[in-house]
Chain A
Amino acid sequence: MTKAFAGVRALKGVDLDIRPGEVHCILGQNGAGKSTLIKTLAGVHRPDEGEIVWQGETVTIADPQAAIDLGIATMYQELDVVDGLTIAENVFLGHELASGGFTRRSEAAKLTKELLKRLGHGSLSPNTEVGRLSAANKQIVSMARALSHDIKLIVMDEPSAVLDSEEVKNLFSVVRELTRAGIAVVYITHRLEEIREIGDRITVLKDGRSTAVGLEVADTPTAELIRLMTGREVANVFPPAEPVADDAPVVLDVEGLALEGVFSGVTFSVRAGEIVGLAGLVGSGRSEILETVYGARKSTAGSVAVGGKRLGRGSVSAAVTAGVGLSPEERKSQGLVLDEPIFVNVTLSTFGRFAKGGFLDTRAERSAAREQIEALELRPPDPDRPAVTLSGGNQQKILLARWLVHGTKVLLLDEPTRGVDVGARAEIYALIRRLAAAGNAIVIVSSEIEEVLGLADTVLVVADGKVLTTVPAAQIDEHGVLDLVMKGAAA
């Protein structure tokens, strides 16, 4: 099975060949063209040049259906499930089990159940509406859909981005099972350690070109991969933590906070310069805790105080005025006004400050935005570029820039590196550190426990809407966190 392919635009000449039964990883920085490449395979885009050879024959994949017919199934980076349908309906969407147009629902439910079991999620009911699922479980549905086809090749675009380590393990065992059956897997990720675990060969993309094709995982050191991707050396380590001064004042004080049906009794405080990390499994309610602290959800009990002053319940404006900033979990749907230029997104919380008598001062806004663009090395450094055209990592930087312009005391960061490439990741880590050093109180949520442990001074382990422990980061490791979580969830 060979594919050779060369296109233009986002892709300027990419070669890729995939063998049956292998896990072929595609690496590249944000915006390198990985998603575009796999969308070409899936029939979403058509290559302008080049050809695709499938099992010895040159094929044109005109539309998604054609790809599916060939035996290529794709799990897309943007969650591609339909909220209003049930799990079973999503799994069989587009190839419904039907006789004469009438759906065979019980059969679909049965097969879905089997697929879910195989994916380690037998407890999910096939008749649950997908809109009610967490992002992680939606990813499972997406996977189940891919498996419901008769496939020879399955493409996974950053499937682990929304999964926690337990789920990732699960995913890997499914992948191994597939490869054993001779099915090829194309796997895209920004987490290099995952490649070590399951990858067979690697293709590296940079700026729409393949810089390396079919490297054997075993023969390629990580540093080499990073160099191929970024063209430079990145020390992918967390910057050294500076100890928080003992006399640093408490900036954020959360007392017995609760949101009915999601979490309760959340108490913690963050001092100036301290980074507190929330660790836990997906769906444990960490995002909700952040959003409730921020006032984006109305707490049902407890209080939040900033610098000693209590914030009004359920009021984002009160939080923002008090100097709290949130970088939300879903960049695109919660963070950015995608069609607007970068500078508008950067000053979205502060444009009123630049305005005189209600009239905007876009020049001042632009120059403030440009300052941050330079400080954060945002690319391209053009404040008038629509946010939609930026890569994930750069979009993430816009959100940070927003609060840098605002000047916060408390920063709440929900998955700040989700989908962000290694290079940008290191920059963001460094930036978070610098912000803490500048006296910000920071709360960070990440599905990568390693990230939480590497950045935070203090770790809160969360399971099932409850804070299990609060420990200094130095006193716990990944294993310890997982143990706690498992026990907590079992309890």
Chain B
Amino acid sequence: GDDESVVDQGTSSDENAASGDTVTIGFSGPAADHGWLGAINSGAQAAADSFADVDLKVAEGTNDASAQIAAVETFINDGVDAIVLLPTDGAALTEVAIKAMEAGIPVINVDREFSSPFAARATILGDNYGMGVSAGHYICEQVGDNPDAVVAEIAGIDSLPLTQDRSQGFADALADCDLEVSARVAADFTVAGGEAAASQLLSANPQIDALWNHDDDQGVGVLAAIESAGRDEFIMMGGAGSKNAMDIIKADDSVLKATVIYPSTQAADGVALARLIAQGKTMSDLITPSVPNRIVLDAPVVTKDNVDQFYDLAFES
């Protein structure tokens, strides 16, 4: 109506907090074989538990696109009210997401984007490219004045598009200050993999100025390798933002000086959004009376100066 104030559109935060019709939400993600993904899973579960009116169904985590499709198909069959999907590969899950949407089930796409805009009602993403850019900028700030600085990079699983995005952002940002990555290895997001990759990298490069490690979980291993090699001539930056990494940054007694956040709360956000959408509610602080289609989360840099501010966002690695 005309007399309604612009700011009063949609549901209010009180209305949102109140219990509505119980909704069943299906959640499917990759195998929780990694701290961040573990945090994603437990985040989703915790979010669901915090709502009395959400019944969360969790499919077996899998890195096999086909198996994940089967999980989504099962959700469709079971007639869930919404699906939160963190695809093992965005493009590969697009078909089945479209199928769900066509069956009238809203799909909330988390972290790895589908290849079609019709596949999701809402998309919530971490910013992988932005993560690389943040990391690159930070390293430019720290060592940019040295044109010969040796910058090393320990990536995650190289065959994942998200790794490519991070590395691209990192390279682009470094190019701004005329630096480039002179040594790069890929690990596998695991502690042991990080340790192995790092010890090889350190051995091959006797002098490093800055090192970006994509992931704090494998960072545990990377740090172990650095300590055991007794190296401290460089600064290191992490990624994702684990509690362990933040503790170390706070203590400021190792090479790890910063990390870039890649929120592990995305799936929890997804569950919250799915509930709103399924119950016909909206995001109370936004004026527009419907849940946005696309939310890209921030990738802030955490240093010892601002670590307290981000500490609660950290995940238990």
Q: Do chains A and B touch in the complex (CB under 8 A)?
A: no
